[in-house]
Amino acid sequence: MGLPLAVGAGVAIRGIGKAILKNTIKRVKKTPNKKFKNVTVKKKKIKDDRRPGKMKTVDDKTPVKGKQGKKNLINSLRRYDKAHERMQIGRYEGLRGVKGGKR
Encode pLDDT of 3-12 as tens digits.
455 555 555 6
Encode pLDDT of 81-94 as tens digits.
777 677 766 666 66
Domain ranges of the chain: 2-37+65-96
What is the number of other CB atoms lying within 10 angstroms of the CB of residue 41?
Answer: 15
Q: Which residues contact 18 (CB under 8 A, 6 or more apart)?
A: 81
